[in-house]
Amino acid sequence: MADSVERTPAVVLEGEAGKGRPRGQQVVEILRSAIITGGYEPGERLIEATLSTELGTSRGPVREALRQLENEGLVMSFPYRGAVVLGVSDDEVQEVLIPIRLTLERYSFLRALEQMTEEDFAELGKQIWLMEQAARADDLARIVEADLRFHEIVIGASGQTHTVQIWRTIWPRIRAYFYRYGRGQDLGRMVTEHRELLAALQSRDPERMRTVLEQHIAVPSPPPAATTSNGRKRAPRTERAPAAKKGRA
C-alpha cells in the first residue's frame, strides 16, 4: 500500500449550491469523483476532520459519505487509522470486473436485441454524439459518463430488472477502471467501438452482437504506471477541477 498522504478535495460546498440535495450526498459525489479520476491515489488517507474543514461542513456528512464510499468499494476503513482509498488493480479488472461484465452484458445485450425501439437507438446515438464531442475536446471524464450511460441503456432495455440492479452495484468499480484504462488511449477509437456496438444492436443479429461486444469488453491491461525515484509505482494523475464558485452546484 502506498504511503499515507493527507489530501483535501479542490471543491468546497457553498451555502446556496447544495439546496435540494442532502449535504452528505454532495460530499459523496465530490469524494467519489476525486477518487475515480485519480485525484487520490491508492493508500491515501481521507481524514474526517480535514475534509469537513475544507468542505465547510460538519463531520457527520463526511462520515456518512465515507461509509457510502466503503459500501461502493472505493475506500476501506481501518481501526485507529480512518478511511483509506482503494485502487483498482489489473487483477481485479481482468479476473473480476471484465468477467462479470462479459456475463452480465452478453445476457442483457442479447435479450435487448428484440426489445429495443427506435427511441432507444436514438438515445444510444445521442450518447455516441456526446462521446464524439468529448473526444474532440480530449475530455475523458465526459466520455466515461456517456460510455456508462450507453451500456446502462441497453441493460435496462433488456427488461431484466435484476441485471440493472447488479450493474448499479458494480458501476463505481467499472467507472474507476474506465478512467484508469482510458488514460493515454485513443478517445476516438472508443467512439468508433460504440458506433460498432450500435450497428450490431440495430442489425438484431445475435452472433454479430456477441462478437462485437466481447471484443469491446475484453481489453488488455494498460502499460505499467511510471515509477518514482525510490522505485514506488506512481499512478497516473488528472487535473482536479477548480474550486466551485459561490452560488453554483
pLDDT given for residue 71 in this prediction: 82
113 pLDDT more than 90:
yes
Distance CA 177, CA 89 (A): 8
Q: How confident is the model at residue 246 (pLDDT cuts 50, 70, 90)?
A: very low
| Mean pLDDT over the full length of the chain | 82
Which grid coordinates are listed for 15? Answer: 451555502
The single-letter code of the amino acid at 167 is: W
* CATH topology classification for 1-87+223-249: Arc Repressor Mutant, subunit A (1.10.10)
Nearest to 42 by CA among 71, 78, 83: 83
pLDDT given for residue 206 in this prediction: 97
pTM, whole model, 2 decimals?
Answer: 0.72
Answer whether 30's CB lies under 8 Å from 55's CB: yes
pLDDT given for residue 4 in this prediction: 40
247 pLDDT more than 70:
no
Q: State pLDDT tens for residues 5-21.
A: 445 454 555 544 445 67
* CATH topology classification for 90-217: Four Helix Bundle (Hemerythrin (Met), subunit A) (1.20.120)
pLDDT given for residue 68 in this prediction: 87
Domain boundaries along the sequence of the chain: 1-87+223-249, 90-217
CA 152 to each of CA 117, 128, 167, 214, 245: distance values in angstroms, whole numbers, following the listed order: 15, 13, 8, 16, 32
Q: State pLDDT tens for residues 179-195.
A: 888 887 899 999 999 99
Q: For the chain, what percent of residues have pLDDT higher than 90?
A: 46
- Across the range 168-176, mean pLDDT stands at 87
Helix (H, G, I), strand (E, B) or coil at 216: helix
Highest-confidence segment of 129-133, 138-142, 160-164, 224-228: 129-133
Window from 23-27, 114-118, 160-164 with minimum mean pLDDT: 23-27
